[in-house]
Structure 1
Amino acid sequence: MAVTGSQRSRLRLVVVQALVFSLFATLFVRLYYLQVVGGEGYQAQAANQSVRDIVVQPQRGLIVDDQGRPLVANRTSWVISIDRNILAKLGERQRTELVRRVSVVVGEKPEAVEKRLITCGNEGSVRGSCWNGSPYQPVPVASDVHKDVALRILEQPEDYPGVVAEQQSVRAYPEPFGVNLAHVLGYLSPITEDELDAAQDADDESLNGASSVGRAGIEKQYDAWLRGLPGYRRVAVDSMGRVLGDDSTVESTPGDTLVTSIDAKVQSAVERALKERMLFQRTQFDKVTGRNYVADSGAAVVLEAKTGRVVAMASQPTYDPGVWVGGISSSELERLYSEKAGTPLLSRATQGQFAPGSTWKPFMTAGALKNGYRTDSTLTCPSGVQIGNRVFHNHESSAIGGPVTFAKALEVSCNTFFFQIGYKYWQQYGSDEGNVDAKDPLVAEAKNFGFGSRTGIDVPGEAPGRIADRSWKRAYYDSMKDFYCGIADKPQDAETSDFVYKFAREFCVEGYAYRAGDAANFAIGQGDTIVTPLQLARGYAAISNGGTLFAPTVAKALVSPSGEVLRRFTPAKVGNVKVPKKDMEYIDESLKGVTRVGTMAWKMGGFPLDDVVVRSKTGSAEVYGKQSTGWVASYTDDYVVVMMLSQAGTGSGSVGEGVRKVWEALYGIDGEAVKPADEAIPGLVAPKTLPTFLDDGSILPPVKEKP
């Protein structure tokens, strides 16, 4: 039977109704599944989207001096951050406008803000500017901004969606007595990708992508103790990223306090004396070069003679450690590394290496007295001595008629006396110029006093100095012969001076040879031998304390935020110079003569030497193409004081007055009177006890132990 049109229409309607019913049935089944079966899971996901984890950086531990005076503290700083999750929800125009607004209020270019928003490792990231932290955390784009800027952002959230203004803890430098101490303290900078990966591999929870870590000085050496442990905040946010309230909090743990052996009052006196001498020498005329002294750099070190603890250490030029807070500009960083500015980042006390000049002679005296000479041995002190085909002159010191002893030679700093000793040993043991294994008593004694190797101070980056012996000269020849032979093998051109061409030809043929002149120069601290001021201070401390070599130490103790002493640092004995006691006493008496009647006497007039017995040795080191480096190394039974200035003239002439001022500060000397009440450190030397840390965070000075 044929199907009519009306029946067909009715059939189509039934099919459509069935389809609609099936769609609604599917929808209701799906809604039932989402709301009833899977409701709890989706509810948790929705909650997670409105809750965000924020890392709370810990307050870094304090660094204090031996009396508890803060050398490095903390202060609060306003930080502006941008939430990249909110930024991603904005349109291109809105995003660009928001970045522009933020850049205007923080005083940056929009391009600089954009660079900080890029995750390190992603395309376009710039090391030092990119973000290394959590992708779910607002990215800091400006630190240490003015409070008015932060309030503007907080009061106008509709104009700054996703922009956060909050206070964070940053480093502060209280500068007690005006101290700088930059090279000892060091500085911080943001963690690198490699450091973060290493921390994560080691399960180190104290570091995260927003951490700052120590880069130099004791900030680096004791970074693990100072940094503390971060905390975490879980906060509820709305769709625009605005914080609605705290969900939960894990408090951060502040870092530990580092108590140092530095005394701020002594440090201030040392820094002031060094800077004054440098500025003064620049006004003085150098008759040798026909111009004023350059006085381009200098250093000073004060050690406890019996322990090796560092009481003060200064370097010039220096810098303000506060420039690193909140990020350093590229122009400022370039200046810190600039040779034109004097390379301020270089610590001349531990990294600067200079020829020691005549301050070397007490160690050479010890070597001679152990190898054939006696305290009553005498030699001449002429104006010059013939060694090979060259006459070696006295230079700064004057000739003395008749025989002289070691004591007199040290008093007047007679070069020709020590030239003869170096030459004698070369003739006796090492006239074979190519024998790298030849015995050399003076070289052996220099190494005995620790020269040519690092002291082991707990400040990173220490230089080792150099003993220019036969082995060094052979190694230097092997490394440089191709270069100099390349010059010598070609005809001299216009760019090569006569001196360089002649030197290259001689070096190419016999640059390995350790000649008599090398031995003579070594005996007076000239030639290629170089030391750091710290090494020299450590050597004189060994003379003062009877022969013990210490690894100089800045850290004294680590104290928890609650005041518990976690660890004490005892200076390590790393060697003994093994010089006979009678010889050490002879050298000691000879150096007293240097202060009373020798080359340092004209700077010590009126100083109460009967009450404060200062031994000293001056030195003037010649440097090819530059003015002389001036040294004074001095000590008492309690302290060692060493000061030097590069391109500043004779030792006593350049830094003699500066060294005297340091001694006056240490012992409370006013004119010819010793006033114990004016001593920089109460009781003269720092007590073994530590400062007292109270519950309210205040610090009391240590109690002086009764004798």
Structure 2
Amino acid sequence: GLIYDRNGNLLVGNKVILTVTLTRQVAKTDPWIIPKLAATLSITPQQVSAALTNPNYSIYKPVPVEFNVPRSVAMLIEEQSSNFPGVQVTLTTERYYPNGNMLAQMLGHTGQITGAEMTSPTYQGYAPDAIIGQAGIEESFNSVLEGQNGTTTYEVNALNQVVKTLAVKPAIPGNDLVLPIDLGLQNTLDTALANQINALHSSVDPTTGIHPPATSGAAVVMDVTNGDILAMSSYPSYDPSLWVGGISESNYLNIESPTNGTPALDRVIQGEYTPGSTFKLATATAALNTGLISPYTNINDPGYFQIPGNCSGKCRFHNAGNEALGSLNIIKALAASDDVFFYTLGYQFYAKAGQYGSTPIQDMANKYGFGEITGISLPGEQSGRVDSLATREALYKAAPKAFNPPGWYTGDNIEMAFGQGETVITPLQLADAYATFANGGTRFAPKIAAAAVTPNGVLAKSYPSVVKDRVPLPSSTRGPMLTGFEEAISAPFGTVGATGAFNGFPSSFPLAGKTGTAQTNHVEPDALLVVFGPANTPKYVVAVVIDQGGYGAQADSPVVKAVFNYLISHTIGPIVLPKAST
């Protein structure tokens, strides 16, 4: 079947190609045909022989030797058929991708079934030469897209030579699949992310004084009201047509090479990043919901937090920029991303574990979906993890040489509270968590398929939104937090507002969000930014992560702004079902 976006734009299609086949019997009796055919097709005799000995091809059918043969070559073979015994030119189909490298990782690719897959119950009864989905949407929805194979029953003699055809059962075409993706928005996201990463290479981070390496990035746009994925981008990307007809070894190594940025990696669901201050969503919610603080609680920020009493090891924690913001409440603490405020919350939760339990922040993070897969219908999604004693014990058990012996102390709880330590999340988890807050507490499984449609244009199946969890967000919690997220974008003391990145943005479409600057083993931090809007009636959330991009407010804002400019000027309409396939 074909794959469409929400507006009926083709994302993955099929095209008719010319395929040259050769029967094994003729190749055995007239072996001279092998080098002759190879020369005609501009391939080696070894390639022809390899096809003939491929056990995945039926012994009763001609063997495909070369796909997508130029028409001039096909005509030569047909016109001189007497010189090419056992050779036929047939019409077959193969996948094609009309939008180049757009959505390459998410859409995935097809390929010939492997020996290991043949033994799986999932593929019981499949022919050895079956083409199946091997990654992405193609893999997840293989059973929807593939249809049913046709069969031909032959009568053969003792030499396994076909004598006659006994019966033919025609194949049944697969269904088409409609995604909630908006192609125009997707193009905007891809372009903005790639342009910004390239622009960062020639900029200078005013904090570190270096050119950000900005090695890679990921971004995703969701509808907060139902979990629809409207666009998702992983950079660098590649041309998925490389897989058509079988990928070459050199191309495979290129798209899997870390030196090239591992273009095959879908960073939206497989990239795991330290969340930095974006994790304060969980800490703030836990503190307000449990009553550790109220919206009116003020905490003094002298520029650092000192662990009280006797302390060994790291006992003083400074703000990232060494600023001192004085007395502030949860609203300003979120807007200005004040670390001392959240150091204090981490300390208080640790000191009052008898009252609030040992993992109140982690428990709330889990409610938001951190530390578990989101449930998106794509293979290979990573779960991330939320730092805790149990997490450290598991890490140490799995890799004792890579991690320190597990322990959990005051400083660990402080670091976890503001998104450092061993916590890692995916960009999709980040978007889903803030979508949950934006819509009032309903966490949806991100939805990547809208409907399956028969080739006759009849709806075969709808894919409803799935609720994974609900986060309690009373007005006493959500109200001040929302104000803090709004002021982070618009107030002069907000992390984004201070940069002027959204100056001139329409006041009729207010935005709210949170920056994150994740300190890693690199000189330049990872840059995170998640923004939702309109803040008063949220509809969309955008999450952007740039690896070694610097500071979230400066590095990611141009991408987010480009997306919201598109959303303001373009209506995301209802799902359009394709008409009958031709």
TM-score, normalised relative to structure 2:
0.92
Instruction: Give the corresponding residue for 2:515.
Output: 618
Q: For 1:541, which of 423, 432, 435 is the aligned residue? A: 435
Match of 2:558 in 1: 657
**Is 1:394 matched with 2:280?**
no
Contact 1:629-1:649 within 8 A present in 2 as well = yes
Q: Which secondary structure state, in structure 2, belongs to the residue aligned with residue 298 of structure 1?
A: strand
Q: Which residue of 1 aligns with 2:78?
A: 154
Q: Partners in 1 of 2:248 and 2:59 — Cα distance?
A: 25
| Structure 2: tracts of 5 or more residues without a match | 157-161
Residues 170-224 of structure 1, C-alpha deviation per residue, up to 9 Å, x if partnerless?
111122xx7711111110110123433557984x4xx322221101111111101
**Which residue is 2:549 aligned to?**
648
- 8 Å contact from structure 1 (residues 357, 619) kept in 2: yes
2:577 aligned residue: 691
Which amino acid in 1 is paired with 2:524? Q
**Matching of residue 335 in structure 1 with residue 245 in structure 2:** no
Q: Which residue of 1 aligns with 2:104?
A: 182
Deviation digits for residues 107-138 of structure 1 (CA, Å, limit 9, x no counterpart): 32222322222133xxxxxxxxxxx0211111
1:380 partnered with 2:274: no
SS for the counterpart of 2:6 is: coil
Q: Is 2:307 the counterpart of 1:420?
A: no
Match of 2:526 in 1: 629
Match for residue 444 of structure 2?
550
- What amino acid does structure 2 have at the position aligned with 1:545? N
Q: Flag the 1:145–1:201 CA change in 2: closer, same or farther, 3 A.
A: closer
> Following TM superposition, by how much is the alpha carbon of 1:155 offset from its aligned partner in structure 2, in angstroms?
1.8
- C-alpha deviations, 1:625-659, integer Å up to 9, x for none? 34210011011211111111001100011111110
Q: C-alpha separation between the residues in 1 aligned to 2:226 and 2:187?
A: 22
* Preserved CA contact (<8 Å) 1:179 1:268: no
* Structure 2 counterpart of 1:643, one-letter code: V
Candidates 595, 600, 605, aligned match of 2:496: 600
**Residue aligning to 2:457:** 563
What fraction of aligned residue pairs are identical, expressed as a percent? 32
* RMSD of Structure 2 on Structure 1 (CA): 2.6
Q: Give the TM-score, by structure 1 length.
A: 0.76
Residue among 381, 384, 391 paired with 1:462: 381
Greater relative contact order, per chain length (Cα 8 Å cut-off, separation 6+):
2
Q: How many residues align?
A: 565
3-state SS in 2 of match to 1:144: coil
Whole-angstrom distance in 1 between the partners of 2:66 and 2:358? 63
SS in 2 for 1:145: coil
Q: Which residue matches 1:406?
A: 330
* Residue 477 (structure 1) shift: 3.1
Instruction: Give 1:661's aligned amino acid.
Output: A
Are the aligned partners of 1:179 and 1:271 in contact in 2 as well (CA < 8 Å)?
no
Q: What is aligned with 2:467?
A: 573
| Counterpart in the other structure of 1:9 | none
The residue that corresponds to 2:568 in the other structure is: 667
1:142 paired to 2:66 = yes
* Separation (CA, whole Å) in 2 of partners of 1:85 and 1:382: 86
Matches within 5 A, 1:267-346: 267-286=186-205, 291-346=210-265
Corresponding residue for residue 260 of structure 1:
179
Distance 1:396 1:166 in 2: 67
Contact kept, 8 Å, 2:2 with 2:177, in 1: the verdict is yes
Aligned-partner Cα distance in 2 for 1:266–1:409: 33
- 5+ long unaligned stretches in structure 1: 1-60, 121-131, 238-242, 432-436, 485-503, 669-678, 699-707
The corresponding residue for 1:369 is 288
- In terms of Rg, which structure is larger? 1
Structure 1 CA distance, aligned partners of 2:540 and 2:95? 32
Cα distance in 1 between the residues matched to 2:246 and 2:210 = 41
Distance of 2:123 and 2:319 partners within structure 1: 62
Paired with 1:246 and 1:235, the residues of 2 have a C-alpha distance of 5
- Separation in structure 2 between the aligned mates of residue 532 and residue 382 of structure 1, nearest angstrom: 33
Instruction: Give me the whole-angstrom Cα distance separating, in 2, the residues matched to 1:644 and 1:198.
Output: 37
Give the counterpart of 1:591 among 485, 489, 511: 485
- Tell me, in whole angstroms, the C-alpha distance in 1 between the residues paired with 2:425 and 2:354: 24
Contact 1:397 1:415 in 2 (8 A): no
Distance 1:188 1:479, change over 3 A: closer
Query: What residue is the counterpart of 1:98 in the other structure?
Result: 33
Q: Aligned equivalents of 1:296 and 1:653: distance in 2? A: 16
CA distance 1:661–1:179, shift in 2 (3 Å): farther
Within 5 A, what are the aligned runs for 1:118-267? 118-120=53-55, 132-175=56-99, 180-198=102-120, 202=124, 204=125, 207-232=126-151, 250-267=169-186
SS at match of 1:303: strand
